[in-house]
Structure 1
Amino acid sequence: MNKKLRFPRNLWRHRELWWRLTEREILGRYRGSVLGIAWSFITPLAMLAVYTFVFSQVFKARWGGLEQAGPLGFAINLFAGLIVFNLFSECAIRAPSLIVSNPNYVKKVVFPLDILSCVSVGNACFHALTSLCILLIFELIAFQTIPLTLLWLPLVWLPLILGSLACSWLLSSAGVFLRDIGQLIGVGINMLMFLSPIFFPLSALPDRWQPLLRINPLAQVIEQTRRVAVQGVNPDWPYLLIGTVITLLACEISFRGLQRSKKAFADVL
């Protein structure tokens, strides 16, 4: 078995195809609408405005350590967690139908099927970045500054992006043979949302429950995102190193699994 990573070379070889399809996916999502791609900014802005109103006027919520920002600080921390969760959930929910909904790519033309997941992840990353822009604007309003530690965010999100890609390859391949995967993922994502520290920090939980929620990989990404994007604290080096290595291996395993199983796709579809 070849011990070298195959998927980075494959992605580089098809980089132009990946870029063009991702661009088409993003623009096609808003084609025909009056405001066009501006919706990618309006939607997260509306979400953050609603969260700020609900938690400031209804729940009177505060986030520990950010009392000076008031309820807006709570909404900012909540939204930072949602950006991470939405990136992963968008990839996971779409993954089981990626190959099933494109049978022509399997039957009629020679097409690198692994690129479909890359396009899905690229689309999710674009919308995560637009949401991040809105988050930073609200940080300027609340704190009058943006922490320099934000520069660590690409490295903090690298395990998230690689993990989303690995899950997408795995689920898209499994979705061809097991059509129930899509339903199971929908239920699982709803459960994962409330088992992730989106609406609360991990430190708010009793000590006996914290190790259990730390098993959730998204919990680490969410906490580290808040550290560098909101709190102005450097990320944990073990997270960056171990998380990147694990997700690289997960990508390679899922990529090779897709390459082996795609020979049977035409018979099933």
Structure 2
Amino acid sequence: MLINPNHSISPLVAVKSVSDNFELIVQMVKREVIGRYRGSMIGLAWSFFNPLLMLAIYTFVFSVIFQTRWAGIGEEQSRTDFAIIFFAGLIIYGLVAECVNRAPTIVVSNVNYVKKVVFPLEILPLVACGSALFHMLVSVVVLLLAELLFAHQLPWTVLLFPVVLVPLLLGVAGISWFLSALGVFVRDITQVTAMLTTMLLFLSPIFFPASAMPAELKIWMTLNPLVYFLDEARNTLIYGVVPDLSNWIVATCISAFVAWLGFAWFQKSRRAFADVL
């Protein structure tokens, strides 16, 4: 039996597929983003106003009603500090949650592409990730505008935020590849991912700093891969702290391995997609 070279699990094939189909990925991401707001009165502007409204709500609820303070940043913090720190964490979580929750249905909802031999199915999870990345970047703009408004300055380390995104996007791509293939065979996985992402929201240092965890539970916090990205996002976007190079290299290597595992699973599974769908 001849093996389609496009079904190779080599990481070089993944890189080549992204490179060769980059324009197609960009066009499909544009179509998906615009399609989400098609028919609305202000269209794509909702992608900006939604996070702006949410930040305003978080600021009011946490700073005015609950008067919550973020431990570890001193007593001089303003009313908006908690909301900004919380929103920065929520931005990272939102990217991961959207990709993970959408991945199991991404192939199932595009059966017409499965039937096309020449279509690169492996880019479908990346299109979903690209759409989530677009909305995350819009939220980052809202966050930076809020910092300028309330703190009147931005740390120069904002320029290093894309560096933090490299291992995050690699890991999310790997998970998306894995779940998108698994979702073809196990339709219940959608319900599982919804529960897991909800658990991740409350078990990650989004509403609270990692230092606030009891000592006996901190070991479990180290097993949460989201913690590193939450800390580094806040360091670069808010605190002005340069990411540690050694930690970044380790995170990138692990994420690259996860990406390859997810891609390999997708490539091995795709041969049966047409039979199942």
Relative to the length of structure 2, the TM-score reads: 0.93
For 2:30 and 2:154, how far apart are their aligned partners in 1?
A: 29
2:231 to 223, 230, 233: 223
Pair 1:247-2:255 in alignment? yes
Over 3 Å counting, the alpha-carbon distance change for 1:16 and 1:28 in structure 2 is same
Distance in 1 (CA, whole Å) between partners of 2:216 and 2:237 is: 28
How many residues are treated as equivalent by the alignment?
269
47, 62, 68: which is aligned to 1:40?
47
Q: Distance in 2 between matches of 1:148 and 1:211?
A: 32
**Is 1:186 aligned to residue 227 of structure 2?**
no
Identity of aligned residues (%): 46
**Letter of the structure 1 residue corresponding to residue 16 of structure 2:** R
Structure 1's unaligned 5+ residue stretches are: none
Distance (whole Å) between structure 1 residues aligned to residue 10 and residue 175 of structure 2: 21
- Residue among 130, 134, 144 paired with 1:136: 144
Residue of structure 1 aligned with 2:101, choices 93, 106, 118: 93
Which runs of 5 or more residues in structure 2 are unaligned? 1-7
Q: 1:102 is matched with which residue?
A: 110
User: Structure 1, residues 41-77: CA drift from partner, whole Å, max 9, x if none?
Assistant: 1000010000000011211111231543422000000
1:263–1:124 Cα change, 3 Å: same
* 8 Å CA contact retained: 1:7, 1:251: no
RMSD: 1.5
Q: What is the CA-CA distance between 1:200 and the residue it aligns to?
A: 0.6
Q: Distance in 2 between matches of 1:141 and 1:69?
A: 15
Aligned to 2:206: 198
CA contact (8 A) 1:66 1:73 kept: no
2:131 matched residue in structure 1: 123
Cα pair 2:47 2:135 within 8 Å, conserved: yes
Residue 163 of structure 1 corresponds to 171
Q: Judging changes above 3 Å, is the alpha-carbon distance between structure 1 residues 209 and 47 closer, same or farther for their aligned structure 2 residues?
A: same
Q: Return the offset for 1:21.
A: 0.5
1:191-248 Cα offsets, whole Å, 9 max, x none, are 1100110001111222222221121111110011111111111112232101111111
CA distance in 1, matches of 2:104, 2:10: 28
Looking at structure 2, the residues matched to 72 and 23 of structure 1 have their Cα atoms a distance apart, in angstroms, of 34
- Paired residues of 2:9 and 2:268 also in contact (CA < 8 A): no
CA separation of 1:40 and 1:28: change in aligned 2, threshold 3 A: same
CA distance in 1, matches of 2:215, 2:261: 35
| Partner residue, 1:53 | 60
Give me the whole-angstrom Cα distance separating, in 1, the residues matched to 2:210 and 2:244.
15
